[in-house]
Structures are given as C-alpha cells and as structure tokens.
Amino acid sequence: MPTCTVISASFRVHARLAAKNQRLAELPLLITPHPLNDLTLDQVREMAVAAYPVIIEQLTGAGVLALDAPIDYVHPAVRSGQHCMDPNLKGDAP
C-alpha cells in the first residue's frame, strides 16, 4: 500500500534506521527542513505547497520513488543566513 512518510531533516538517520528495523529499508521518505516549530502558519502553508507534488507522487506510486525526497523549500532562517543547514539532510544513512 502506498504511503507518504514525512519527517524533518534532523530525524532522517533515525527514520532510516527505524524503517530498516521494520524490514522497510526501501521506504520512501519525504524530508522537510528542520526545525518546524519556528515557522509561521503562512510558512507552513508554503512548505505544504512545496511538499504536495512529492506527496502525490509517493501516494500514487507514479514513477521511481526516491528513498529520500527533500522538498523544494528553504527554511526562512536559512534564507536569512541565521541557521546552518542540518547535516542529516545530506549524505548516506545506514
């Protein structure tokens, strides 16, 4: 059954390990920027719009699904230079 598993970047490694432990190593993940708690409602809406195509792709199983699918959304703190990109977003997970 198609699913869309949404996580924030800081939990990428943990999510990948949890999926592997459940014998779901190939589980596609939709990855949002981290943190989320400082976003305004309008920013959350903007992020949801960016995530929508990936959500539809994962739920419909259209095409080859990426294991890690970061959405096309840059956290406002990163845009303003006040926050470093989370290292969990890039690189290989176990």
- Domain extent listing, the chain: 5-89
Helix (H) or strand (E) holding 76: helix 76-79
Q: Could you tell me the pTM of the whole model? A: 0.80
Complete DSSP assignment for 13-70: HHHHHHHHHTT-TT--EEEE-S--TT--HHHHHHHHHHHHHHHHHHHHT-SPPPSEEE
pLDDT tens across 32-46, in order?
Answer: 999 899 999 999 999
Residue 93 CB neighbours (<10 A): 16
Cβ(12)–Cβ(93) under 8 Å? yes
pLDDT tens across 54-83, in order?
Answer: 999 999 987 778 899 999 998 888 888 876
